[in-house]
Amino acid sequence: MADIAINFVGPLPTNKGFDRVLTITNRLSGYVRLLPARKADTAADVAAHFHEGWHHLFGLPQSIVSDCDKLFTSKFWVALHKRLNVKLQLSSAFHPKTDGHSEKTNKTAFQIL
């Protein structure tokens, strides 16, 4: 099982209704998935993106590191991963290096997009 980092890049110019990107990074290998997302997405939408773009392909991670975005701290997201036995780790606002993988991925993705 992998440890992953998850975050959003955006806002971006709207394309086919999508205005940001969900980034998922394997913290060991550095493998990155970029998934289209919307600012209006709910935690359930993000869970669906995660399932289709990561879980369906690679299985459940052991842990997920993310920032404190309201979607990653929602009751739904927390309860879902507790039930799936996936450890959620939130980076603090004043110590973003905790989530350095996502920050590096986001910077690169933003430059490319």
Question: Locate tokens 């842990």: which residue?
Answer: 63
Taking the chain (113 residues) in runs of 10, the rounded mean pLDDT of each run is: 90 96 94 96 96 96 94 96 95 62 64 62
- Would you tell me the crossing angle of helices 75-83 and 43-50 to the nearest 10 degrees? 40
pLDDT at 95: 56
- Domain limits of the chain? 3-106
Copy the structure tokens of residue 21: 């990107």
Q: Say which CATH superfamily domain 3-106 falls into.
A: Ribonuclease H-like superfamily/Ribonuclease H (3.30.420.10)
Q: Tell me the pTM.
A: 0.84
Q: Which residues of 10-40 are buried (b: 16+ CB within 10 A; e: fewer)?
A: bebeeeeebbbbbbbbbbeeeebbbbebbee
